[in-house]
Amino acid sequence: MQSLDCRACAARVHVAKYSPAHTSIQWTDSARAACHEIAAARDLDPAAYVMRCAALDCTVDEAVSEGKLRATMRVEPSVRPLASEDTVTAAR
């Protein structure tokens, strides 16, 4: 993940860009506190959960187009498929 500052509010988040449609963002408490869109939503409802920030989306897209944010490859762990005789039990 790479650090990126939102151009609208300067909130610093960690971003991973996997494809044009897939972006992963990790918010810190200080970034949530700085975000104008989160603040506006919380003014309406203190328990609001904001799924995304349009200003940050624009910042990410601009950083990618300017070459400041590079796309990375997401690697999924390899897992052996279950055989028909395998059983799965719940962890206790």
The H or E element containing residue 92 is none
Task: Report how far residue 11's alpha carbon sits from residue 4's, in angstroms, rounded to the nearest whole number.
Answer: 8
Burial of 46 (0-12, 13-18, 19+ CB in 10 A): exposed
- Is the C-alpha dihedral spanning 51, 3, 61, 37 positive or negative? positive
Short-list 57, 37, 61, CA closest to 49: 37
Entry pTM: 0.73
What are the structure tokens assigned to 88, written together?
A: 């799965």
In this structure, are residues 62 and 10 in contact, taking their beta carbons and an 8 Å threshold?
no
Give, for all 92 residues of the chain, the pLDDT tens digit. Answer: 999 999 999 999 999 998 888 899 999 999 999 999 999 999 999 998 888 899 999 999 999 999 999 888 766 667 777 777 777 777 66
